[in-house]
Amino acid sequence: MGDDVLPVPVLSRDTLIFVQEIGEGCFGKVFKGVLKKENGTSDVVAIKVLKETASRQAEDDFMREVEIVSAFRHENILSLLGIVLKESTSRPWMVFEFMPHGDLAEVLRSNSRQFWKPVPGLKSLTKNSLLKIALQIAGGMKYLAAQRFVHNDLACRNCLVGSELTVKIADFGMSRDVYTCDYYRIGGSKPVPLRWMSPESVMYRRFTLESDIWSYGVVLWEIYSLGKQPYYGLNNEEVVKMILQGIILLPPENCPPFICDIMKECWKTEPKDRIIFNDVYDRLKKSWKEREGDEPLFPGTNNNNNNESNVITTRDSGKISCPRPPLFPVSPLINNNNNNNNNECNDILDADNYLAPQATQINEYIHPLPD
């Protein structure tokens, strides 16, 4: 693939110096490095390198990622600076801007009462800081949605933090090894981010802009819980049952009411009923403009780790609408069964890549949630 095909600079291997490894996945590694520029200056960068043992499919996926990411231009999306093309004895590389403070999940945890460890070069988080983080991620996702791009793995671990608390959405594909407890293998398939997935994603592996919205609601929960794992204290099988029974996360203690409202609108059972990223961004932007004096996070914060305290049953608006999640996990993906139980769910999208409304099909496995 030549440099006349991709809208991104093709770099020489000689211009890059590897400093240290900062992440590893099944098919590649990410290194902190230095990019030497023609004018004699240099930039600190992140270099994603495909492993020599990676398959041809992994290499094709790697180059497909280049094509996709190179088209993104947004202040809250990680920038691809260039690529190093494949040679006879080495695999291709991707070169990204370097975010010095690492992933957002770690930054949040370092500011929690349990794991207090100030991040060098970054001020301690405040209540306004959390709103700023949420707003930036919403802005990045609004942009991706406008490009009709579905992220599939939106989570704080896949957001990177730079100077002045700049947050950028990324997905190096390395999180599955670094955060192995956040991924779950359903029915022998590749690991998926279960705790961030919508009911239709769990049931049918359907990933759309609506499922990204669901994940964004979980990201809000991560932000305002200062990096706790969603459904902490529960194993993955229990989480599957809770998601399919309509049991959602309880907003963290002291979470602002307007953030709680957005979370609930992200977690509507019916995909078509969920809020869209444009509206999320507009609400958060309005709140940011109207913010008043800032406050530290710790005063009055309740860090209760009771396993039962982080979930609550929802009935959405109080009305019963079909189809709803079944009371028990019946998907072949969950049962590791290859039958055709998921034929009722077809991938029908509207012009904006959102799920188009479908006629209700009443089946024996669809039940209203109990009062």
* 87 or 111: which leads in pLDDT: 111
Average pLDDT over residues 194-223: 95
Average pLDDT over residues 288-309: 63
Q: Show the tokens assigned to 156.
A: 């704080």
Question: In Å, how far are 64, 137, 141, 208 from 168, measured between CA atoms?
Answer: 21, 7, 10, 21
Average pLDDT over residues 119-143: 94
Is residue 138 within 8 A of residue 280, CB to CB? The reply is yes
Please report which confidence band the pLDDT of residue 78 belongs to, taking 50, 70 and 90 as the band edges. very high
**Distance between CA 208 and CA 349 in Å, rounded?**
9
**Distance between CA 340 and CA 363 in Å, rounded?**
14
Of the listed ranges 161-175, 248-262, 293-307, the one predicted with least confidence? 293-307
Instruction: Please tell me whether the peptide bond between 323 and the residue prior to it is cis, using omega within 30 degrees of 0.
Output: yes
Q: Is 132 assigned a ligand-binding role in the annotation?
A: no
Is residue 78 within 8 A of residue 98, CB to CB? The reply is no
SS (H, E, C) 29-62: EEEEEEEECCCCCEEEEEEEEECCCCCHHHHHHH
Reference 325, options 266, 238, 243; nearest CA is: 243
**pLDDT recorded at residue 325:** 32
Tens digit of each residue's pLDDT (9 = 90 or more) over 326-365: 333 333 333 333 333 333 333 444 444 344 443 333 333 2
Amino acid at 186: I
Please report which confidence band the pLDDT of residue 299 belongs to, taking 50, 70 and 90 as the band edges. low
Contacts of 95 (CB under 8 A, 6+ apart): 11, 16, 33, 35, 45, 46, 47, 48, 80, 81, 82, 83, 84
Q: What SS3 state is found at 262? A: helix
* 161 or 53: which leads in pLDDT: 161
Active-site annotation holder among 3, 4, 103, 153:
153
Domains of the chain and CATH, by start: 13-97 (3.30.200.20), 102-287 (1.10.510.10)
Tens digit of each residue's pLDDT (9 = 90 or more) over 169-203: 997 444 444 455 666 666 656 778 899 999 999 99
Tens digit of each residue's pLDDT (9 = 90 or more) over 7-60: 789 999 999 999 999 887 767 889 999 999 989 899 999 999 988 887 888 888
Q: Is 285 assigned a ligand-binding role in the annotation?
A: no
**pLDDT recorded at residue 260:** 97
Active site residue 273: no
Q: Is 91 assigned a ligand-binding role in the annotation?
A: no
Reported pTM? 0.76
Whether residue 225 is predicted with pLDDT greater than 70 in this model: the reply is: yes
**Distance between CA 364 and CA 346 in Å, rounded?**
18
**pLDDT recorded at residue 335:** 36
Q: Is 157 assigned a ligand-binding role in the annotation?
A: yes
Average pLDDT over residues 260-288: 97
Side-chain half-sphere exposure of 170, counting CA atoms within 13 A: 28
* 183 or 132: which leads in pLDDT: 132
User: What is the torsional sign of CA 228, 231, 237, 243?
Assistant: negative
**Distance between CA 142 and CA 96 in Å, rounded?**
21
